[in-house]
Amino acid sequence: MRSIALITPVLLSACAAAQPPVHGVTAGHRCQSGTGASFVGQSATSETGAAILRATHAAVLRWAPPGVMLTMDYRYDRVTVRTGPDGRITSVNCG
86 is a domain residue: yes
* pLDDT in single tens digits along all 95 residues of the chain: 555 555 555 555 555 444 445 556 777 788 887 888 899 999 999 999 999 999 999 999 999 999 999 988 888 899 999 999 999 999 999 98
Q: Could you tell me if residue 48 is inside a domain?
A: yes
* Consecutive H or E run containing 80: strand 78-83
Q: Would residue 24 be called left, alpha or beta, if left means φ above 0 and alpha means ψ between -120 and 50 degrees?
A: left
Domain that includes residue 74, residue range: 26-94
pTM over 0.85: no
Q: Is 12 domain-assigned?
A: no
Q: What CA–CA distance (Å, rounded) separates 14 from 17?
A: 5
Burial of 39 (0-12, 13-18, 19+ CB in 10 A): buried
- Does residue 78 contact residue 31 with C-beta atoms inside 8 Å? yes
